[in-house]
Amino acid sequence: MEQAGHQIFEFLRDYGYWGMLPLMIIEGPVVTIVAAMLASLGAFNWIFVLLFSMAGDVIGDVILYGLGYKYGMGFVRGFGRYMGITEPLVLKMEKYFNSHGGKTIFAVKSTTGLCWATFTAAGIVKMDFRKFVKYSILGGVVWSGFLVAMGYFYGYLWREISQYIDWIGWAIGGFAAISYVVITLYKKKESKDLLGANGI
C-alpha cells in the first residue's frame, strides 16, 4: 500500500483534480486518504476531495449494479471472478437482500468488504435503482467522510511535525499504510460476521 500510495501521490501532484475522480472510481480508499493528506498540506480543498470520493464510490457502485442488472450471473461467472466476485457469495447476498433490502447497501458500504459482490447482486435481483443510489450515497457519506478525516489528520501531523523531524513524512506514511491494512482486515472480519450471523 505504501508503494501504491507514493505512486498515487505523484499522479495527483501532476494531474490534480482532473486525475482524482478516475482514480477514486478504481481505488477509492487509498486515493481518498492520499488526496486528503494533500488537502491538509494545502494542495487540494478537502470538501472537493470528499465530494470526489463520494462521486467515485457511487459511480463504481452503479457500474457494478449495471453489470449485474444486464448480464446477471453471466458476468459473475465470467469477468467477475477476476474481481473477486464469486457465484456462491453473490447468491448469499441475494438471500440477504430478500429480507433487508436497502439497509444492506448502507451496512456493506460503511462497514464491510463485500461491496463488489453486494452491488452486483443488487443489479442481479433488480433492486429499485433510486433506492440503490440513495443508500449508496448514505453509506458513502460515512465511509468517505471517515477516510477524508483520517487522511487529513495524518496530513496535519506531517505538516506540524516535519519542521522538527526530517524523516517524519516516512513515519506518517507508514502509519497511514498500517491504518489502511487494519481497516481492510476489520472490514473482512465484519464481512464474515455479517454472513455468519445470518446463516448465509
pLDDT tens for the 200 residues of the chain, in order: 445 545 666 667 677 777 788 888 877 788 888 888 888 888 888 999 999 999 998 998 899 899 988 888 888 888 777 766 777 777 777 776 666 667 777 777 766 556 777 788 888 888 889 888 998 898 888 888 988 998 888 888 777 665 555 555 556 566 666 776 776 666 666 555 554 544 44
CA dihedral sign of residues 65, 111, 183, 121 = negative
- The DSSP output letter for 114 is -
Q: Does the residue 135 lie in any domain?
A: yes
Q: What angle do CA 45, 49, 53 make, to 5 degrees?
A: 170
Predicted TM-score (pTM) of the model is 0.71
DSSP notation for 40-96: HTTSS-HHHHHHHHHHHHHHHHHHHHHHHHHHTHHHHHTGGGGGT--HHHHHHHHHH
Domain tally for the chain? 1
Q: What is the pLDDT of residue 198?
A: 46
Say how far apart CA 164 and CA 169 lie, in whole Å.
11
How far, in Å, CA of 135 to CA of 100, rounded?
12
Determine, yes or no, domain membership for 18.
Answer: no
Closest CA to 137 of 126, 129, 125: 129
Question: 105 lies in a domain?
Answer: yes
- Report yes or no on 14 lying in a domain: no
pLDDT at 2: 44
Question: Which residues have C-beta within 8 Å of that of residue 173, sequence separation ≥ 6?
Answer: 2, 5, 6
φ, ψ of residue 198 in degrees (nearest 5): -110, 10
**DSSP character at residue 151:** H
Residue 97 placed within a domain: yes
**Residue 30 contacts residue 154 (beta carbons within 8 Å):** no
Looking at the domain assignment, is residue 166 inside a domain?
Answer: yes
- Residue 129 within a domain: yes
Which domain does 78 fall in, by range? 56-197
Check residue 79 and give its pLDDT.
Answer: 77
98 found inside a domain: yes
Asked if residues 200 and 92 have their Cβ atoms less than 8 Å apart, the reply is yes
Coil vs helix vs strand at 112: coil
